[in-house]
Amino acid sequence: MIWGTIFLCLVFQAILVFGVQDLKNLNIWPMPKSVEYGDKSIFLSKNFHLMTNGSKYLDKDGILKDGFTRLLDVLTANNVIEYVGKVDESVLLQGIHVVVNSESDELQYDIDESYKLYIHPEGSPIYANIEAATVYGALHGLQTFSQLCHFNLKSRKLIVNQIPWTITDQPRFSYRGLLIDTSRHYQPLPMIKKVIDSMAYAKLNVLHWHIVDKQSFPLEIPSYPKLWNGAYSLTERYTMAAAAEIVSYAKRRGINVLAELDVPGHAESWGVGYPALWPSKNCTEPLDVSSDFTFKLIDGVLSDFSKTFKYKFVHLGGDEVDTSCWSSTPRIQKWLKQQGLNESQAYEYFVLKAQKIAVSHGFEVINWEETFNHFGSKLDRKTVVHNWLGGGVAEQVVEAGLRCIVSNQDKWYLDHLDATWDMFYMNEPLTNITKPEQQKLVLGGEVCMWGETIDGSDIEQTIWPRAAAAAGT
Amino acid sequence: MIWGTIFLCLVFQAILVFGVQDLKNLNIWPMPKSVEYGDKSIFLSKNFHLMTNGSKYLDKDGILKDGFTRLLDVLTANNVIEYVGKVDESVLLQGIHVVVNSESDELQYDIDESYKLYIHPEGSPIYANIEAATVYGALHGLQTFSQLCHFNLKSRKLIVNQIPWTITDQPRFSYRGLLIDTSRHYQPLPMIKKVIDSMAYAKLNVLHWHIVDKQSFPLEIPSYPKLWNGAYSLTERYTMAAAAEIVSYAKRRGINVLAELDVPGHAESWGVGYPALWPSKNCTEPLDVSSDFTFKLIDGVLSDFSKTFKYKFVHLGGDEVDTSCWSSTPRIQKWLKQQGLNESQAYEYFVLKAQKIAVSHGFEVINWEETFNHFGSKLDRKTVVHNWLGGGVAEQVVEAGLRCIVSNQDKWYLDHLDATWDMFYMNEPLTNITKPEQQKLVLGGEVCMWGETIDGSDIEQTIWPRAAAAAGT
């Protein structure tokens, strides 16, 4: 709530700074696709409520109802409404009438997130109206509505100015991500939930969960229970039930969880529980490419993943792989010779084999850009290449016919404290990509909150407001 | 919740560091007065609930019920309990049986906060038991209970180890305060509530709200509505209804709110709305001692205060008064001459006159120590002197027969980032005070979170864990 408020205050300035003169009274972020407004005002009624007459979506799990409750919580968090005196019915907004056309609450890549929000001061009683294809579009509509409301110091009530409003909106990109990293610093479950809450304010829709890395392995893997021996401590762990709770919590806010299993580098912590995964005790990364056990274990992990992480993508990492341990370990050197592979080819072998395993469990694969840079033509044709090293990669990826997510570190890495909010705002995923069919291959963008120097005490403060600036792109 | 967890983890180390060998397994903070424990374990039942049979307190406002709900929230925040398999009834804790002897939920200075908590694995079904004189003692018992519970990774359930427990507790001091300062930085309402939540974890019981100061006047004063013209902005304001909400929120957690009106210094912002309060436009502090309007306005403010702030004390400041504006302003200089007062005597005149106004509204007065240091013998005999400048003051105050609160800045100022948690822990309010009747005059202590360099982004991180170290004193 705090962060919602803080980032909204800050990013509103962006609108002014960038001189969108005719929109200067619109404190909506990200700016909807189309906005029309008037010059009248209306107060929110004491019994402001949700109405869903005519909606095909029946909300049996309460996703919409909970979203409405959160709206009320946000609207009343920072001010105490005083219901004294009588207000003319003709300037009272009685509630929001939400009509959702799809019965399904399935959340998946590329669902329809569009909505129409209109507040016309006609009829009696007066309602705000949201029409959406899916309940997740309706949740976006509620977020936008919250940004139209202000506490009026004179009346001590909530007021919507500039009615009548007619807003139509749909996201420019289907993938609007935020990465968190629970290996470098463990994040308690309530903190991950807070991050998810705040993502919803900015209409981000993918939590990229970089779960494990060199430093620690906090997640329970039922098939290989010793893996979380690599956690920092007994309490800095997530059970798979906790992971499922995160997925469920995010889903109810319209946010998918993209799980990452970064292989073969960034994996030293795996060997705390299973030292056989290390080339040797003194040379502990990358994972042993020569061992069947390595891939058997990856298969087990991805099998377990597939039961909890229902997003159609899984992230298999593949970045920053220093293969020298493979050559310096006699056993693996011997295997490389037998297979006729040099280090670079072995890296390719590993990534492609891991991709096949992921595909066998029903996933489409996202890999960091090094995989594309080294052997792009060999990657599974459904691979999504995740840019991070710098600009100019997306155009090569889509030229090669693959899909891309943009996270160039100079602009969209949140741990780069020298990257300012206006740099975040100005970063353009479609730079130099003009052909419509290639533009479609850019799924979207992601800001990355790497965890080396942040913990629960500053993750929110480091993510916001810059992540919101990117969300406004 | 996060901060509860973080400070608890950190302060547990204090117990170890200070070598209380036989208590090394007791993760309870602050340490109760008496603790006995065994070596058995018991699981919390799936239907863990509150039972109040035999309680004289009827909880019509749900203070106890809400406290129990918060207990459940804390216990389940960071872990997902898995209710699979069957657990033997004889090792299941079905709930907490709370018996409160007082019917009243009045919260006031020096109420009985004692409680007894025992968990004996006898009878069927088995309950934990809390006996308390007041509902606020019972809330402390719930906090202590929460610290006995752990998430057990093997069973995936909450477990209480070391039963049977028998804990009796009562606070060493009746006043256990934390100061927040909403003048130097405005704190949003939800942030103040979070601070109150976290105070309850450490059994602190007074939120000293330093509402206004030189920099800004964020609070609405119905009698003098232009005062909050001195707020930083239109939104960085508290209505009096918001202040009442804070008082009510704190009360439901056993925490009193001590409002401060710091006079005659630290008051420049008052004059934004009422410039007549300034000696002159160029010399804006202290408040004009020569003007009847000054005291009429203070009377109005304290009258408004008395309707919302129900704690028996009000804080009237009185610190760091540079009186040179009085002499350099001809009008006031003339008045001083007429009254036969020098600057120092005028300072005394102001403080004593303000005290009388506060007393007329039913308050007892707390003043910062400068008032005692300058004219201690003239202060109202019910004055509580608030130490801050350094050590050695409390002993002089109680020797003079006045009451005292200890906040020596070298040890208990949270904005002093060089004051470490162990310094907070080792600070002793009763230093050099040995006579029991004098010890009774030390009401307690307070840690101070001055607001010059903190806002909503770091106030919690700066308060905790050091405030908890002080709470353990």
Contact A188 B244 (CB under 8 A): no
Minimum CA–CA partner of A78 in chain B: B189
Q: Are B213 and B262 in contact (CB under 8 A)?
A: yes
- Min Cα–Cα distance to chain A from B239, Å: 8
pLDDT at residue A439 tops 50 = yes
Which residue among B2, B188, B237 places its CB closest to the CB of A153?
A: B237
A239 shares contact with chain B (CB less than 8 Å): yes
Contact B80 A241 (CB under 8 A): yes
Q: B245, B320, B395, B428: which one is catalytic?
A: B320
Minimum CA–CA partner of A155 in chain B: B239
What's the CA gap between B325 and A312, in Å, rounded? 71
Classify residue B155 by burial, with Cβ atoms within 10 Å: 0-12, 13-18, 19+.
Answer: middle
- Min Cα–Cα distance to chain A from B447, Å: 21
Which residue among B77, B190, B241 places its CB closest to the CB of A82?
A: B241
- Min Cα–Cα distance to chain A from B77, Å: 6
A2 shares contact with chain B (CB less than 8 Å): yes
Coil/strand/helix, residue A145? helix
Minimum CA–CA partner of B234 in chain A: A153
Q: Are A261 and A211 in contact (CB under 8 A)?
A: yes
Contact A79 B242 (CB under 8 A): yes
Chain B hits for A155, CB-CB cut-off 8 Å, are none
B39 shares contact with chain A (CB less than 8 Å): no
Please list, in sequence order, all residues whose beta carbon lies within 8 angstroms of the beta carbon of residue A345, skipping any fewer than 6 positions away: none
Tokens matching residue A384: 């999504």
Contact A79 B458 (CB under 8 A): no
Residue range A131-184, pLDDT digits in tens: 999 999 999 999 999 999 999 999 999 999 999 999 999 999 999 999 999 999
Contact A79 B239 (CB under 8 A): yes
Residue with tokens 């069947």: A292
Q: Are A33 and A168 in contact (CB under 8 A)?
A: yes
Q: Which of A115, A148, A153 is nearest to A25 (CA)?
A: A148
Contact B457 A188 (CB under 8 A): no
Measured between alpha carbons, how far is residue A438 from residues A114, A307, A374, A431, B130 in Å? 23, 33, 21, 11, 67
What's the CA gap between B373 and B385, in Å, rounded? 10
Contact A191 B2 (CB under 8 A): yes
**Region at B110 (left for phi over 0; alpha for psi -120 to 50; beta for the rest):** left
- Min Cα–Cα distance to chain A from B80, Å: 5
Percent of residues, chain A, with pLDDT higher than 90? 91
What's the CA gap between A111 and B162, in Å, rounded? 52
Measured between alpha carbons, how far is residue B200 from residues A87, A221, B250, B251 in Å? 39, 37, 9, 11
Query: What is the rounded (10 degree) CA torsion for B234, B240, B242, B245?
Result: 180
Chain A hits for B78, CB-CB cut-off 8 Å, are 188-190
Residue range A239-277, pLDDT digits in tens: 999 999 999 999 999 999 999 999 999 999 999 999 999
What's the CA gap between B431 and B453, in Å, rounded? 31
What's the CA gap between A231 and A68, in Å, rounded? 38
Instruction: Encode B81-94 in three state secondary structure.
Output: CCCCCCCCHHHEEE
Looking at residue B24, its pLDDT comes to 52
Looking at residue A279, its pLDDT comes to 98
Q: Where are the beta strands (DSSP E) in A323-451?
A: 364-368, 384-386, 403-406, 442-449
- Min Cα–Cα distance to chain A from B194, Å: 11
Chain A hits for B6, CB-CB cut-off 8 Å, are 456-457
Contact B456 A2 (CB under 8 A): yes
Chain B hits for A457, CB-CB cut-off 8 Å, are 2, 6, 461
- Min Cα–Cα distance to chain A from B423, Å: 22
Measured between alpha carbons, how far is residue B340 from residues B286, B334, B343, B344, B354 in Å? 19, 10, 10, 11, 20
Contact B79 A234 (CB under 8 A): no
pLDDT at residue A24 tops 90 = no
Classify residue B393 by burial, with Cβ atoms within 10 Å: 0-12, 13-18, 19+.
Answer: buried
Show the domains of chain A with their CATH numbers.
34-169 (3.30.379.10), 175-471 (3.20.20.80)
- DSSP code string of B55-81: -S---TT-HHHHHHHHHHHHHHHS---
The per-residue pLDDT of chain B, averaged, comes to 94
Sign (positive or negative) of CA dihedral A428, A431, A437, A443: negative
Looking at residue A127, its pLDDT comes to 97
Percent of residues, chain B, with pLDDT higher than 90? 91
Is residue B326 within a helix (H) or strand (E), and if so which, with residue range? Answer: helix B324-328
Minimum CA–CA partner of B82 in chain A: A241
Q: A89, A103, A131, A320: which one is catalytic?
A: A320
- Min Cα–Cα distance to chain A from B463, Å: 12
What's the CA gap between B456 and B473, in Å, rounded? 27
B236 shares contact with chain A (CB less than 8 Å): no
Looking at residue B380, its pLDDT comes to 95
Q: What is the DSSP letter of A219?
A: B
Classify residue A361 by burial, with Cβ atoms within 10 Å: 0-12, 13-18, 19+.
Answer: middle
Chain B hits for A79, CB-CB cut-off 8 Å, are 189, 239, 242
Mean pLDDT of A283-299: 98
Contact B241 A6 (CB under 8 A): no
A190 shares contact with chain B (CB less than 8 Å): yes
Coil/strand/helix, residue A440? coil
Q: What is the DSSP letter of A383?
A: P
Minimum CA–CA partner of B241 in chain A: A80
Tokens matching residue A272: 């705390």
The per-residue pLDDT of chain A, averaged, comes to 94
Coil/strand/helix, residue A160? strand
Contact A78 B188 (CB under 8 A): yes
Please report, in tens digits, the pLDDT of each residue of chain B (473 residues total): 344 444 444 444 333 333 333 445 678 999 999 999 999 999 999 999 999 999 999 999 999 999 999 999 999 999 999 988 787 878 899 999 999 999 999 999 999 999 999 999 888 899 999 999 999 999 999 999 999 999 999 999 999 999 999 999 999 999 999 999 999 999 999 999 999 999 999 999 999 999 999 999 999 999 999 999 999 999 999 999 999 999 999 999 999 999 999 999 999 999 999 999 999 999 999 999 999 999 999 999 999 999 999 999 999 999 999 999 999 999 999 999 999 999 999 999 999 999 999 999 999 999 999 999 999 999 999 999 999 999 999 999 999 999 999 999 999 999 999 999 999 999 999 999 999 999 999 999 999 999 999 999 999 999 999 999 999 98
What's the CA gap between B280 and B326, in Å, rounded? 9
Q: Are A432 and A392 in contact (CB under 8 A)?
A: yes
Contact B153 A461 (CB under 8 A): no
What's the CA gap between B408 and B446, in Å, rounded? 9
Q: What is the ipTM of this complex?
A: 0.92
- Min Cα–Cα distance to chain B from A224, Å: 15
Q: Which of B153, B163, B74 is nearest to B126 (CA)?
A: B163
What's the CA gap between B473 and B469, in Å, rounded? 7
Distance between alpha carbon A280 and the CA centroid of its chain, in Å? Answer: 36
How many contacts, defined by CB atoms under 8 Å, are there between A and B? 68
Which residue among B153, B234, B245 places its CB closest to the CB of A80?
A: B245
Coil/strand/helix, residue A351? helix
Minimum CA–CA partner of B463 in chain A: A457
Which residue among B2, B190, B457 places its CB closest to the CB of A461?
A: B457
B76 shares contact with chain A (CB less than 8 Å): no
Residue B103 annotated in active site: no
